[in-house]
Amino acid sequence: MIGHVTFKNSSVRYSDKGKGNVIVLLHGFLESLHIWDNFSDCLSKQFRVISIDLLGHGETPCIGYIHTMELMAECLKSVMDSLDIKKFVLAGHSMGGYVALSFYEKYPHQIAGLCLFHSTAMPDSEKRKIDRDRMVLVVKQNRRQFVSDLIPKLFAKENISKNKNDVTVAKQIAMNTSKQGTVAALKGMKERSSKELVLKNAVNSVLFIIGKKDVILAWENLLLLATLPKQPVTVVLENAGHMGFYEAPDETVAALENFARTCYSL
CA distance 38 to 11: 24
The least distance separating ligand MLT from the CB of residue 7, rounded to whole angstroms, comes to 20
Using rule CB under 6 A, residue 51 touches ligand MLT: no
CA distance 108 to 97: 15
By CB under 6 A, how many residues form the interface with ligand MLT? 7
For residue 166, which phi and psi values (nearest 5 degrees)? Answer: -65, -35
**Alpha carbon 108 to its chain's center:** 18
Fill in the per-residue mask, 233 to 262: x = in contact with ligand MLT (CB under 6 A), - = not in contact: ---------x--------------------
Q: Which of 7, 14, 29, 103 binds ligand MLT (CB under 6 A)?
A: 29
CA distance 44 to 257: 10
Using rule CB under 6 A, residue 54 touches ligand MLT: no
Using rule CB under 6 A, residue 188 touches ligand MLT: no
CB closer to ligand MLT out of 95 and 228: 95
Using rule CB under 6 A, residue 189 touches ligand MLT: yes
Fill in the per-residue mask, 69 to 108: x = in contact with ligand MLT (CB under 6 A), - = not in contact: -------------------------xx-------------
CB closer to ligand MLT out of 180 and 262: 180
Per DSSP, helices labelled H in the chain are 37-43, 69-82, 95-106, 126-153, 159-162, 164-175, 179-191, 196-200, 219-225, 244-247, 249-263
Using rule CB under 6 A, residue 155 touches ligand MLT: no
The least distance separating ligand MLT from the CB of residue 125, rounded to whole angstroms, comes to 11
Q: Which of 216, 235, 260, 263 binds ligand MLT (CB under 6 A)?
A: 216
The least distance separating ligand MLT from the CB of residue 18, rounded to whole angstroms, comes to 25
CA dist list (Å): 161 to 154, 157, 245: 13, 8, 16
Count of alpha carbons within 13 angstroms of residue 143, beta-carbon side: 15
Residue 243 and residue 166 in contact, taking contact as beta carbons nearer than 8 Å: yes
Residue 29 and residue 153 in contact, taking contact as beta carbons nearer than 8 Å: no
Q: Which of 28, 113, 181, 229 binds ligand MLT (CB under 6 A)?
A: 28
User: Which positions touch ligand MLT (CB under 6 A)?
Assistant: 28-29, 94-95, 189, 216, 242
